[in-house]
Amino acid sequence: MDYQIILEALRRQPFSPFTLRMNDRREFLIRHPELITVTRRDGSVMNPSIGETVHLETVLIASLHTKSKPDPDWDDGSANGK
């Protein structure tokens, strides 16, 4: 995925959570713009509730999904061990 698409989603005002879906079907919910870093080649997604940071290659990101309204119960796949 072009990293510029992710940067656009991070810069939207007001910020709206989004999900990154990887080629291997893993999903990462981005609840806050400070929980992700992204460059042209790679990025890191942080999950402070479990103290985890996942490093990603942007070429392996298949899609970015947004919701029109933030939903606190939006499933980020963590309940399934992803």
Query: What phi, psi does 48 have (nearest 5°)?
Result: -65, -25
Provide the pLDDT for residue 63.
Answer: 97
Q: Which residue has the higher pLDDT, 33 or 67?
A: 33
Q: Which residue has the higher pLDDT, 74 or 5?
A: 5
Distance (Å, whole) CA 57 – CA 39: 9
**35-63 pLDDT tens trace:** 999 999 999 999 988 899 999 999 999 99
Provide the pLDDT for residue 81.
Answer: 46
Which has the closest alpha carbon to 17: 71, 75, 58, 62?
71
Q: What are the structural domains, with CATH classification, of the chain?
A: 3-68 (2.30.30.100)
